[in-house]
Chain A
Amino acid sequence: MKESEAVRSRELQRLRWRSRRGLLELDIVLGRFWAECGEELDDSDAGGLAKLLAMPDNDLLDLVMGRRDCPDPALQPLLQRLKAA
């Protein structure tokens, strides 16, 4: 494995763990997302996912359930995949 791949892999592993949340609803949605999309995540997805996962649980749940609009348009495509999972 090249060094850059190892770093990417480490970042994805970190994000996978950070998908463990305080709210059950998010655990379920993020679990499905990893099962469906985990293999195909690229660097830009990882960056976006890191931003979403840095949000407070309640705010992220509001986005996932469609109760609020996403404040950052750049995150919209990733959020759509999360909502569809």
Chain B
Amino acid sequence: MALAVRKFDAVIVGAGGSGLRAALELSNAGLKVAVLSKVFPTRSHTVAAQGGVGAALGNMGEDSWHWHMYDTIKGSDWLGDQDAIEFMCRMAPEVVIELEHFGMPFDRNDDGTIYQRPFGGHSQNFGERPVQRSCCAADRTGHAMLHTLYQRNVLARTQFFVEWMALDLVRGADGTVLGVTALEMETGETVLFQGKATLFATGGAGRIFSSSTNAFINTGDGLGMAARAGIPLQDLEFWQFHPTGVAGAGVLITEGVRGEGGILLNRNGERFMERYAPTMKDLASRDVVSRAMATEIKEGRGAGEHADHILLKLDHLGPEVIDKRLPGIREIALKFANVDCARDPIPVVPTAHYQMGGIPTNYRGEVVVPAGGSSASVVPGLYAAGECGCASIHGANRLGTNSLTDLLVMGKSAGMSMAEYIRAQGGAHPALPAGAGDEALARLARLDGQKGGEDVSAIRDEIQRTMQAHCGVFRFPDLLVQGVAKIRALGDRLARTEIKDKSKVFNTARVEALELENLYEVARATMVSAEARKETRGAHDREDFHARDDASWLKHTLWYREGDRLAYKPVNLKPLTVDSIEPKARVY
């Protein structure tokens, strides 16, 4: 069956911050742009970002992009590529001012300049003292950013395809990317969106873990499509975790609870942090607390029926102190943990928050893979930006506020690169190869025809439980080895998923089955990459190799779906214009 084809200059998958920023760049350049999104653009997960945009504007005291660059490289535990980091930090003030001119309601100082908030890890003069660098709009920075960018795109006549799910990449015989196939949820029809350039801006895949702060839409669709098309996924062993999310739900419990005197208990009621950090106890740094929690659970001292969580006790503070110092925490505990924390402890676990790895790109947003003797050969026509891309700016750990900076800078940069590439191609679209779109149609036909197959939610739960237990915030060698086997074994069951509802119109079950295929690729890449990396660096924390090993591991992981093959490529330690910031111990 020949698919209907719609032609655009640029096809963008994902309408969060980076997709919208790229679309705006392209539409303003007079190009014809399609943006596909599973949900209405302003309900993308960017809406959850509260912290702000990091940019060295210097509105609150002296600041410099070079200091921001140093902080980002140090935060990345030297796994970040220094050319991309210099690029982002230099361009950050420009994209923030642009956003202000687009109408973003930033908080302001009395003199009218943008107010900047303090945030951990940001410093003046290469680590000397803290600096205020985060530009925010109250606690709704992500929300304000999405609305501002969406409205600007409407003005610029970007064409939105809302409630469409992209299915697979379409590539020509020479590997050039020609667009994507996509499913319209309202009709169940599949259409081929042909673009002279295609951008993935599909966000992260935090849903691979059972405890995640990510919304349900974060299933790594771009990463799944890339992996199925033979493109490797980079550095997926690096995931940022928060120590205290509500067990089973993922909703964050602010670290302020421990700041106000809340304590962590194991199943025996023991305040175990006294053993791990005798001085700081429950106020030890995030990684120390997370590691201790994971160790207690691994050694069988977790609380609950499955011994799989820790208890956060704060009833001793008294209801008055809780209500006054920790407003909203009782409502959150009641709604998402079903406990009144003025009486009972909150069940918590380390909770996945941000994916540092992704589809490998350079700082222009072009997807790059090893080919023809180069470790970074451009895949013609394909771009990635935001959390789904890996430039690599965040390396092994992301600095707070740099996620919004990344999606603005890389969204704009990808848009500029795409505009250049589209113009160079001239008028007509290239011919599509015979059978273009067949991969997606075959997957849909398999799903619709499956009899006596596996339940989608059961496999999703199994993936999430396996990732949480075997590849969480603190990693044990035996659990990783078992985890690889378990995740591989799930592949056979995934190939036999069945949906009972075969209807065409807004069939959520079909969408969830398709999302699961993407989620699985990311889970597998994460587990295999984590098992192989025998060191501790940034967010990848191993019990058996508890130090950074630059001699062996100062390199990026590339995971290929075919045969779970791993390859590695060097970290770029050479910035664009300044001297390299040489690796040293990362201490704060």
Contacts and interface: CB of A to CB of B under 8 A. Distances in A.
Contact of A65 (B47, B143, B335, B508): B335
A66 B327 CA distance: 13
B461 interface: no
Given A20-B217, A22-B215, A23-B48, A13 B507 contact: yes
Main secondary structure of the interface of B (DSSP, over half): loop
Interface in B219-266: 249-251
Given A23-B215, A58-B143, A66 B45 contact: no
Contacts of B40: 18
B276 interface: no
A26 B250 CA distance: 12
Interface string B202-219: 000000000011111100
B44 A22 contact: yes
Q: Which range holds the interface residue count of chain A?
A: 20 to 34
A37 interface: no
Contact of A56 (B143, B251, B507): B143
B47 A23 contact: yes
A7 to B, nearest CB: 10
B508 A17 contact: yes
Nearest to B185: A17
Nearest to A66: B331
A10 interface: yes
Contacts of B46: 22
Interface string A1-32: 00000000010011011101111111111010
B336 A21 contact: no
A29 B335 contact: yes
Contacts of A66: 331
B43 interface: yes
B249 A20 contact: no
Contacts of A29: 335
A24 B250 contact: yes
A24 B186 CA distance: 24
Contacts of A21: 39, 43, 215-217
A31 B217 CA distance: 13
Interface string A60-85: 00000111000000000000000000
A21 B282 CA distance: 33
A23 B506 CA distance: 21
A10 B47 contact: no
B340 interface: no
Interface string B142-158: 01000100000000000
B38 interface: yes
A67 B330 CA distance: 13
Contacts of A23: 47-48, 215
Of listed B39, B214, B503, B506, residue having the most chain A CB within 10 A: B506
A25 B140 CA distance: 15
Given A25-B251, A28-B249, A65-B331, A20 B39 contact: yes
Given A57-B43, A58-B140, A22 B48 contact: yes
B47 A22 contact: yes
Contact of B43 (A10, A22, A28, A67): A22
A18 B38 CA distance: 9
B212 to A, nearest CB: 8
Interface string B464-508: 000000000000000000000000000000000000000101111
Contacts of B143: 56-58
Contacts of B163: 17
A24 B38 CA distance: 16
Contacts of A10: 505-506
Nearest to A10: B505
B444 interface: no
Interface in B32-52: 38-40, 42-48
A24 B214 contact: yes
Interface of B: 38-40, 42-48, 140, 143, 147, 163, 185-186, 212-217, 249-251, 328, 331-332, 335-336, 503, 505-508, 511
Interface of A: 10, 13-14, 16-18, 20-29, 31, 56-58, 65-67
9 contacts: A10-B505, A14-B186, A17-B185, A22-B48, A24-B216, A24-B251, A56-B147, A58-B47, A58-B140
